[in-house]
């Protein structure tokens, strides 16, 4: 195993343990070592750096890392990183500018995953979009109901394959569901989620696009 890969796993372990400074240094060194080398590991390190910065609250630095990953992944045709970096960047924008700015970006990320034929990559952004719509509609049932439909549609899709290196950006569907149940009632939420499962995510996203006037 090369030095860069050892450092990559060291960085991940430091993130898990909460040593964000150590993780940041290790990810940065991996990126330096592989600037002209193994693209896959460089991309994963750049995404890891972005999530580390996001966890630390350094939103601008996180967004810069996610943009860099998205640009290079697009150049080399790494579809998974293209989609995951688009989602992560939407989350970073939401942390900085609020759910109103994040919602259309999350919708675009979920739609891109569906269009690419990678439905499991749409689960995260669709769930985060449901959370954003709920945050935008504390007193309006329409947005809350749409959030419930989206949550059901996203939950009907298969979960992402493999091990996620994202420790901070993915929306928690259980937490979103809990908040919606408190606002709408558990029976109403269950009905909305069933409607989302029946409609499918593409149709639910179309409803969200209309609601957001996009």
Q: How confident is the model at residue 166 (pLDDT cuts 50, 70, 90)?
A: low
Q: Is the Cα dihedral 95, 97, 98, 99 positive or negative?
A: negative
Q: What is the mean pLDDT of residues 5-30?
A: 92
d(CA 24, CA 94): 22
Percent of the chain with pLDDT over 70: 92
The answer on pLDDT for 3 being more than 70 is yes
Whether residue 83 contacts residue 118, with contact meaning beta carbons closer than 8 Å, is answered with yes
pLDDT of residue 118: 94
Contact partners, residue 15, CB within 8 Å, separation at least 6: 23, 48, 51, 52, 55, 167
Task: Fill in the DSSP letter of residue 159.
Answer: P
List, for residues 108-163, the tens digit of each pLDDT value: 999 999 999 999 999 999 999 999 999 987 555 678 999 999 999 999 998 766 55
Taking the model in full, what pTM does it have? 0.90
pLDDT of residue 138: 59
Q: What is the mean pLDDT of residues 35-53?
A: 90
pLDDT of residue 161: 65
pLDDT of residue 1: 47
- The highest-level CATH class for domain 1-77 is mainly alpha
Task: Fill in the DSSP letter of residue 120.
Answer: G
List, for residues 181-195, the tens digit of each pLDDT value: 999 999 999 999 999
- Mean per-residue pLDDT of the chain: 90
List, for residues 69-121, the tens digit of each pLDDT value: 999 999 999 999 999 999 999 999 999 999 999 999 999 999 999 999 999 99
Q: Where are the domains of the chain?
A: 1-77, 98-214
HSE (CB half, 13 Å, CA atoms) of 206?
6
């Amino acid at each position: 195993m090369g030095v860069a890969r050892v450092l990559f796993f060291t960085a991940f372990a430091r993130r898990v343990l909460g040593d964000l400074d150590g993780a940041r240094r290790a990810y940065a060194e991996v990126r330096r070592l592989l600037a002209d080398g193994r693209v896959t590991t460089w991309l994963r390190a750049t995404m890891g750096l972005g999530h580390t910065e996001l966890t630390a609250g350094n939103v601008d630095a996180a967004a810069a890392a996610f943009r860099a990953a998205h640009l290079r992944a697009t150049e080399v045709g790494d579809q998974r990183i293209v989609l995951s970096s688009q989602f992560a960047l939407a989350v970073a924008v939401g942390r900085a500018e609020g759910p109103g700015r994040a919602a259309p970006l999350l919708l675009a990320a979920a739609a891109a995953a569906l269009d690419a034929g990678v439905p499991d990559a749409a689960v995260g952004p669709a769930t985060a979009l449901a959370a954003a719509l709920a945050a935008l509609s504390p007193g309006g049932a329409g947005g809350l109901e749409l959030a419930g439909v989206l949550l059901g549609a996203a939950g009907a899709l298969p979960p992402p394959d493999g091990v996620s290196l994202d420790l901070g950006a993915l929306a928690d569907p259980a937490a979103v569901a809990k908040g919606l149940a408190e606002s709408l009632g558990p029976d109403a939420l269950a009905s909305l989620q069933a409607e989302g499962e029946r409609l499918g995510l593409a149709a639910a996203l179309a409803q969200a696009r209309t609601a957001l006037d996009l």
